[in-house]
Amino acid sequence: GAVVSQHPSRVICKSGTSVKIECRSLDFQATTMFWYRQFPKQSLMLMATSNEGSKATYEQGVEKDKFLINHASLTLSTLTVTSAHPEDSSFYICSAILGGLEQFFGPGTRLTVL
């Protein structure tokens, strides 16, 4: 399958700081990437759809000013959690589409906000 990387894999930050997470498609170009969040023992929750060269589409209830998404190239999308708070602590996972519909996931970023 296709390879998607995320960086960093784990981050611990203080409340009020901003954290940037990178998602890269390593061996293919992805016009569309997705950002998910997963709390312990819960399923994936789609946060937003990231489209190369255009604004991201956010799911209902996701604050676009808090979770900034930039998809500046066909292989890179970034998610910035602004003014992070302890309730933002979660497992953030990106995915990219190869071909038509198959989504391949990155390894995830575990964010802990103190």
Partner 1 sequence: QKEVEQNSGPLSVPEGAIASLNCTYSDRGSQSFFWYRQYSGKSPELIMFIYSNGDKEDGRFTAQLNKASQYVSLLIRDSQPSDSATYLCAVNDMEYGNKLVFGAGTILRVKS
Q: Which residues bind partner 1 (CB under 8 A)?
A: 1, 32, 34, 42-44, 46, 49, 93, 97, 100-108
- How near is the Cβ of 17 to partner 1 at its closest, in Å? 24
Q: Which residue number, 33 or 84, has a Cβ lying nearer to partner 1?
A: 33
Close Cβ partners of 107 (under 8 Å, ≥ 6 residues apart): 4, 5, 6, 9
Torsion of the alpha carbons at 99, 23, 75 and 42, rounded to the nearest 10: 20
**Exposure class string for 78-106: b at 16+ Cβ within 10 A, else e:** bbebeebeeebbbbbbbbbbbeeeebbbb
Choose between 34 and 88: whose C-beta lies nearer to partner 1.
Answer: 34
CB nearer to partner 1: pick between 16 and 107: 107
Shortest distance in whole angstroms from residue 11 CB to partner 1? 15
- Taking the complex as a whole, the smallest distance from the CB of residue 27 to partner 1 amounts, in Å, to 15
